[in-house]
Amino acid sequence: MFTDDWNDLSSEQRLAARLDAWQNAPIEFVSPDVRQAYVDRVQLWRDAIALRKPARVPITPWLGLFPLRYSGFTGHDAYYDYDKLGQAWDKFHADFRPDGLAMTIAMVPGKVFDILDYKLYDWPGHGVTDDASYQYNEREWMRDDEYDLLINDPSNYWQRFYVPRMFGALEPWQTLAPFTDLCEAPFTAPFFVPFALPPVKQMLQKMMDAGDAAMEWLQAFMAIDGKQMATLGIPQMAGSSTKAPYDILGDTMRGTRGLMLDKFRRPEKVKAAMERLVPLAIDWALRSADATRNPVVFIPIHKGADGFMSDEDYRTLYWPTFKAVLVGLIEQGLVPMVFAEGAYNERLEVIADPEIPAGRMIWMFDDTDMARAKRIVGARQAIGGNVPGSLLTMGAPARVDAYVKDLLATTATDGGFFLGTGIVLDEADPACFKAFCDAGRTYGAQI
Amino acid sequence: MSKELTEAVIELREQDALQITDRLLAAGTDPLTIVAACKEAMEVIGRRFACGEAFIPELIMAGEIMQGITAKVKPHLAAQAPAEMLGTVVLCTVQGDIHDIGKDIVGSMLGIAGFNVIDLGVDAKVATVVEKVREAHPDVVGLSGLLTVAFDAMKATVAAIDAAGLHDGLKIMIGGAPVNEDVRAFAGADGWAKDAVGAVDLAKTWVGGA
Rounded Cα gap, residues B93 and B146, in angstroms: 9
In whole angstroms, how far apart are CA A218 and each of A222, A225, A239, A355, A426? 6, 10, 14, 38, 22
Which three-class secondary structure state does DSSP give residue A413? coil
Alpha helices in A301-396 (DSSP H): 311-313, 319-331, 348-351, 370-376, 389-394
Interface test with A, best of B14, B148, B154, B174 (most A CBs within 10 A): B148
Q: Which of B54, B61, B147 sits opposite A264 (nearest CB)?
A: B61
Q: Which of B56, B148, B177 sits opposite A260 (nearest CB)?
A: B56
How many other C-beta atoms are found inside a 10 Å radius of the C-beta of residue A407? 23
Return the pLDDT at B83.
64
Cβ–Cβ below 8 Å for B57 and A128: no
Q: What is the ipTM for the molecules in this complex? A: 0.87
Return the pLDDT at A264.
96
Rounded Cα gap, residues A89 and A222, in angstroms: 12
Return the pLDDT at B1.
73
List chain B residues with CB under 8 Å of A307. 55-56, 195
**Nearest of A393, A407, A340, A305 to residue A57 by alpha carbon:** A407
Q: Is the dihedral of CA A172, A174, A177, A178 positive or negative?
A: positive
What does DSSP say about strands A135-136 and A121-124: parallel, antiparallel, or unpaired? antiparallel
**B81: confidence class by pLDDT, cuts 50, 70, 90:** low
**Nearest of A353, A362, A414 to residue A384 by alpha carbon:** A362
Taking CA–CA distances from B51, the nearest residue in chain A reads A307
Rounded Cα gap, residues B89 and B91, in angstroms: 6
Q: Is B71 exposed, middle or buried, given 0-12, 13-18 or 19+ CB atoms closer than 10 A?
A: exposed
Return the pLDDT at B2.
86
Which three-class secondary structure state does DSSP give residue A23? helix
Taking CA–CA distances from B12, the nearest residue in chain A reads A264
Q: Which of A132, A137, A256 sits opposite B101 (nearest CB)?
A: A256
CA A253, chain centre distance (Å): 18
How many other C-beta atoms are found inside a 10 Å radius of the C-beta of residue B181? 10
Q: Which of A132, A308, A423 sits opposite B178 (nearest CB)?
A: A423
Q: How many CB pairs under 8 A join A and B?
A: 93
Q: Which residues of B touch A (CB under 8 A)?
A: 12, 14, 54-57, 60-61, 64, 95-101, 104, 123, 147-149, 151-152, 177-180, 182-183, 185-186, 195
Nearest CA distance, A446 vs chain B (angstrom): 30
Q: pLDDT higher for A417 or B66?
A: A417
Provide the whole-model pTM.
0.92
In whole angstroms, how far apart are CA B14 and each of A374, B6, B19, B62? 42, 12, 9, 8
Return the pLDDT at B80.
57
The answer regarding whether domain B2-77 maps to CATH 3.40.50.300 reads: no
Rounded Cα gap, residues B91 and A143, in angstroms: 28
Q: What kind of fold does domain A6-134+210-443 have according to CATH? A: TIM Barrel (3.20.20)
List chain A residues with CB under 8 Å of B54. 310
Nearest CA distance, A76 vs chain B (angstrom): 13
Return all residues near A389 (Cβ < 8 A) that are at least 6 apart: A421, A422, A423, A425, A427, A428, B148, B178
**B32: confidence class by pLDDT, cuts 50, 70, 90:** confident
Q: Three-state SS string across chain B, please? A: CHHHHHHHHHCCCHHHHHHHHHHHHHCCCCHHHHHHHHHHHHHHHHHHHHCCCCCHHHHHHHHHHHHHHHHHHHHHHCCCCCCCCCEEEEEEEECCCCCCHHHHHHHHHHHHHCEEEEECCCCECHHHHHHHHHHHCCCEEEEECCCCHHHHHHHHHHHHHHHCCCCCCCEEEEECCCCCHHHHHHHCCCEEECCHHHHHHHHHHHHCCC
DSSP state of A158: I
The residues spanned by each domain of chain B are: 2-77, 87-207
Angle, alpha carbons B106-B112-B115 (nearest 5°):
80
CA B146, chain centre distance (Å): 17
Cβ–Cβ below 8 Å for B57 and A313: yes
Rounded Cα gap, residues B6 and A106, in angstroms: 47
Residue A339: beta bridge partners? Answer: A300, A364
**Nearest of A396, A383, A407 to residue A431 by alpha carbon:** A396
The residues spanned by each domain of chain A are: 6-134+210-443
**Nearest of A301, A343, A344 to residue A323 by alpha carbon:** A301
Nearest CA distance, B100 vs chain A (angstrom): 8
DSSP state of A179: G
Nearest CA distance, A270 vs chain B (angstrom): 14
Return the pLDDT at B209.
62
CB A77 within 8 A of CB A269: no
Phi, psi torsion values for A339, nearest 5 degrees: -110, 105
The yes-or-no verdict on residue B147 having pLDDT over 90 is no
List chain A residues with CB under 8 Å of B97. 132, 135
Query: What is the second-level CATH architecture of the domain B87-207?
Result: 3-Layer(aba) Sandwich (3.40)
Whats the size of chain A, residue-wise?
A: 447
A142: left (phi over 0), alpha (psi -120 to 50) or beta: beta
Interface test with B, best of A76, A128, A265, A347 (most B CBs within 10 A): A128
**B35: confidence class by pLDDT, cuts 50, 70, 90:** confident
Q: Which residues of A touch B (CB under 8 A)?
A: 122, 127-129, 131-133, 135-138, 256-257, 260-261, 263-265, 307-310, 313, 341-342, 367, 388-391, 393-395, 423, 425-428
Q: Which of B57, B96, B148 sits opposite A260 (nearest CB)?
A: B57
Rounded Cα gap, residues A224 and A89, in angstroms: 7
pLDDT of chain A, 447 residues: tens digit per residue: 678 899 999 999 999 999 999 999 999 999 999 999 999 999 999 999 999 999 999 999 999 999 999 999 999 999 999 999 999 999 999 999 999 999 999 999 999 999 999 999 999 989 888 988 899 998 999 999 999 999 999 999 999 999 999 999 999 999 999 999 999 999 899 999 999 999 999 999 999 999 999 999 999 999 999 999 999 999 999 999 999 999 999 999 999 999 999 999 999 999 999 999 999 999 999 999 999 999 999 999 999 999 999 999 999 999 999 999 999 999 999 999 999 999 999 999 999 999 999 999 999 999 999 999 999 999 999 999 999 999 999 899 999 999 999 999 999 999 999 999 999 999 999 999 999 999 999 999 998
Cβ–Cβ below 8 Å for A389 and B99: no
How many other C-beta atoms are found inside a 10 Å radius of the C-beta of residue A287? 11
CB A253 within 8 A of CB A142: yes
List chain B residues with CB under 8 Å of A261. 57, 60-61, 64
Phi, psi torsion values for A254, nearest 5 degrees: -80, -20
Rounded Cα gap, residues B45 and B112, in angstroms: 12
CB A36 within 8 A of CB A349: no
**Nearest of A69, A106, A75 to residue A88 by alpha carbon:** A69
In whole angstroms, how far apart are CA B77 and each of B19, B28, B41, B187? 18, 12, 20, 41
Rounded Cα gap, residues A284 and A299, in angstroms: 11
